Structure 1
């Protein structure tokens, strides 16, 4: 604590925000893997497993829309701490006896977790905008990339943790351990996070929830398609395919998905270097299109190979690794653009609207993942993924080609 106190206020707040985000993300990734594998083991169908996450994604849409308004009124510290506490409660709901873990009960717990996750994410991403000087856009891009990349690396670690602990300790013991650990993080955050962070000077009206900015609306639409394209195969179809078709054990499924997401997070952190920051170049609308176009071809090629009955392991695993690299760059680039486009006063409104679209994409992808896999298999999920990425690329053509004004300096 003494070392933390010697740092500048901005760096100290950044570290606290990032630490909260990391801790939350670790439990969120572990919980996702626990639910998928545990309920698949109990005999739930892919579509039923997808429905368990329906409220998680639906309430993510609602939370991002309302959470930005709440953040502007109450401050980002309160929305972040509320998210941490709600995740503790969501974990506690899953500690009931197995006979009480019905579909409606788990859906309710996942709804609470979805609200918690998006309150936490919106708060963290919005806070970075306020802790970086307006003229330091290169620094903003770097910090956003580090926050986003490290979060996804830890989400991958959470997948590994969830799959491994499910095999070693069982469902209830693992969930209880995560609930206790996150409760400690929540208590520390309440004590040390700055009280006024993120409060808007002019309180936005409820009618201002929907964005009136063209660039933010187009970027949000592209984000919806991008994350729908990922989750249409990643959320349910891929874990069940690896377990059911390839015969992988829980720890193997968890380990592969963990390594995929960890690698994805590392690439996100490196995205500023890969997109030209070392040469003084910052992303714009043309960058969003240029990186989405090659991403579209990857799921299409994997789907074509699976349809032709090529060896699934030799085709699927390298293809998904390439998809992860390209998707990570696209995601990090989008995350920078939204924070750059957002207004400083009431930043959480713009960021919340954008992540509402992100959550709508996840909701769409989650439902399609279970349904398409059940009726047509993994190849169908990948074809739809390619179409959604194509839509994201086309929408990106409407984004500004160069950030103007002081934001570009």
Structure 2
């Protein structure tokens, strides 16, 4: 580790942000579902959030490379304070259409904030650890896994806040917390982190090379496959058909993401070594097959046992285990494939693909659930996973 202090500051900022990100998602989902919003309306509520994530990664990597990761991290935290503060002004007296439009607008700023912070924090690892592939995998996995554990707690935290303090007060509490973290970053983090002398043009953002292009394409369908069932379908199904309370729904999402984060942090040990070799690329394909198998088992179990809650929850937890391994290994690969003088742009390009996957997954989660229920979402997820495996296989082929 080259600079443990700066790694600690970046990690603490990322943790704090993702706590509020998870809490905000659950707050909005459960609050507006209780107000009678349909699954499609709930999905549309997050569309600008995801779309702005795509645009942020498009311009954010280029911006961070020119101005430095400190500046892009500060921008992300400041925008989150603004988004949370704005949402706290929502009034119950507003008409549903106005409320939906206002929340979509505020979520757009939260989406920009999320991907600026995410891109800045993950790229920073490239500059704060040694060039060893195994150490890069280790510290990337620790950051990614711990972040998701914190975000998982955020789902529970958001549901708990909503049940006990209401919508507006919960948002104010979170805005104050992020403002405190922002002040810490302004005072403690050095100013030149990740800034490079070369001034790539914006059009160079799309000139990433075959390996990164294929990895990004696989990422689109990997995260789309998760969000097809995760964003709207499962929480609404659990609340509407299994009659779970807000806190129970939030707790499931919390446990799922916390466990997911724990597996991500342990991925270097579970997957043994990572050395930047051809075997790493083949491992990405093999890991993708585990997701296809686990989702097939969930679909079969749901059909045979009529959505038995134990089988459904158990199957989704198994899926989460393999999804965590896939996600963590992908996060390592993008840093391994990136060159230091283009790291911010390469990571930005990769997470733009991630945001595109979330965008389509979110939209399909609402539409498929409205049209065909949870089963349609699970089948849609499996279709995306098959495409992920196909692309991952091409990553290992010679050209």
Give how far 1:301 is off: 2.1
Paired residue for 1:103, among 97, 100, 103? 100
Paired residue for 1:63, among 56, 76, 85? 56
What is the match of residue 81 of structure 1?
74
Which whole-Å deviations, capped at 9, do the CAs of 1:285-331 have from their partners, x for residues lacking one?
Answer: 10001111021122222223323353521320110010000000000
What is the match of residue 17 of structure 2?
24
Point out where structure 1 has 5 or more consecutive residues left out of the alignment.
1-7, 403-409
| SS in structure 2 at match of 1:217 | helix
| SS in structure 1 at match of 2:339 | coil
State yes or no: 1:37 paired with 2:34. no
State yes or no: 1:157 paired with 2:150. no
| SS in structure 2 at match of 1:285 | helix
What is the alpha-carbon root mean square deviation over aligned residues? 1.7
| SS in structure 1 at match of 2:394 | coil
Paired residue for 2:196, among 184, 196, 200? 200
Aligned residues: 394
CA distance in 1 between counterparts of 2:7 and 2:218 reads 28
| SS in structure 2 at match of 1:196 | coil
Q: Confirm or deny: 8 A CA contact 1:303 1:380 kept in the other structure.
A: no
Which whole-Å deviations, capped at 9, do the CAs of 1:215-268 have from their partners, x for residues lacking one?
Answer: 000000000000000000000000000000100000000011101100000000
Give how far 1:131 is off: 1.2
TM (normalized to structure 2)? 0.96
What is the match of residue 376 of structure 2?
380
Which whole-Å deviations, capped at 9, do the CAs of 1:89-143 have from their partners, x for residues lacking one?
Answer: 0001111123346111100010000000000000011110011222x11111000
Which whole-Å deviations, capped at 9, do the CAs of 1:133-185 have from their partners, x for residues lacking one?
Answer: 22x11111000000000000001000000011111111111111000011010
Give how far 1:281 is off: 8.8
State yes or no: 1:124 paired with 2:118. no
CA distance in 2 between counterparts of 1:277 and 1:15 reads 25
Please list, as runs of the form range in 1=range in 2, the aligned pairs for 1:252-401 lying within 5 A after superposition: 252-277=248-273, 284-400=280-396
**Relative to structure 1, is the Cα distance of residues 279 and 357 closer, same or farther in structure 2, using a 3 angstrom cutoff?**
closer
| SS in structure 1 at match of 2:298 | helix
Query: 284-293 or 302-311, which moves further after superposition?
Result: 302-311
| SS in structure 1 at match of 2:197 | coil
What is the match of residue 165 of structure 2?
169
Q: Confirm or deny: 8 A CA contact 2:145 2:262 kept in the other structure.
A: yes
Give how far 1:280 is off: 11
Which whole-Å deviations, capped at 9, do the CAs of 1:37-64 have from their partners, x for residues lacking one?
Answer: 0000011001100000000000100001
Q: Confirm or deny: 8 A CA contact 1:211 1:350 kept in the other structure.
A: no
Q: Confirm or deny: 8 A CA contact 2:53 2:114 kept in the other structure.
A: yes
| SS in structure 1 at match of 2:198 | coil
CA distance in 1 between counterparts of 2:133 and 2:279 reads 10
Give how far 1:279 is off: 11
Give how far 1:346 is off: 2.4
| SS in structure 2 at match of 1:381 | helix
Q: Confirm or deny: 8 A CA contact 2:136 2:332 kept in the other structure.
A: yes
What is the match of residue 405 of structure 1?
none
Give how far 1:79 is off: 0.3
Q: Confirm or deny: 8 A CA contact 1:285 1:398 kept in the other structure.
A: no
Q: Confirm or deny: 8 A CA contact 1:138 1:282 kept in the other structure.
A: no
Q: Confirm or deny: 8 A CA contact 1:61 1:359 kept in the other structure.
A: yes
CA distance in 2 between counterparts of 1:282 and 1:273 reads 19
Q: Confirm or deny: 8 A CA contact 2:299 2:375 kept in the other structure.
A: yes
